[in-house]
Amino acid sequence: MFRALGDPTRRTMLRLLAEGDRSVGELAAPFEMTFAGASKHVKVLEVAGLVRRSVEGRTHICRLEAQPLSEADEWLRYYGDFWTRRLDALERQLRRDR
């Protein structure tokens, strides 16, 4: 998942999908990239479980799957809290050592 989120193009695509379903062509438009290029980005998002793609005729429709983002957020919050506690302890120790 973090590999998928590491790319700014894919993060923008996810932001667009948070507003509603989009075709691969619509996801490609802001970047002036080809369908094939956008489709490769969408594939990475699919493998990460962040996007579900369906085909309606010749149109590939993408939908955001937000649950994995919630799980990543939970994981990151844990480590955010961990480091906050560690840095607070360091600050207290440094104040005592003055």
Alpha-carbon span 67 to 22, nearest angstrom: 18
pLDDT for the residue numbered 45: 97
Per residue in 11-32, pLDDT (tens digit) is: 999 999 999 999 999 999 999 8
pTM > 0.85: no
pLDDT for the residue numbered 16: 97
Contacts of 4 (CB under 8 A, 6+ apart): 10, 44, 45, 47, 48, 50
pLDDT for the residue numbered 24: 95
For 91, the enclosing helix (H) or strand (E) is: helix 67-96
The structural domains of the chain, with segments of one domain joined by +, span 1-65, 66-98
Contacts of 12 (CB under 8 A, 6+ apart): 30, 31
pLDDT in tens, the chain (98 residues): 899 999 999 999 999 999 999 999 999 999 989 989 999 999 999 999 999 999 989 999 999 999 988 888 898 899 999 999 999 999 999 999 88
Where are any strands of DSSP class E within 1-98?
Answer: 22-23, 51-56, 59-64
pLDDT for the residue numbered 9: 97
Up-side HSE of residue 56: CA atoms within 13 Å toward CB?
A: 8
pLDDT for the residue numbered 71: 87
- CATH C-level class of 1-65: mainly alpha
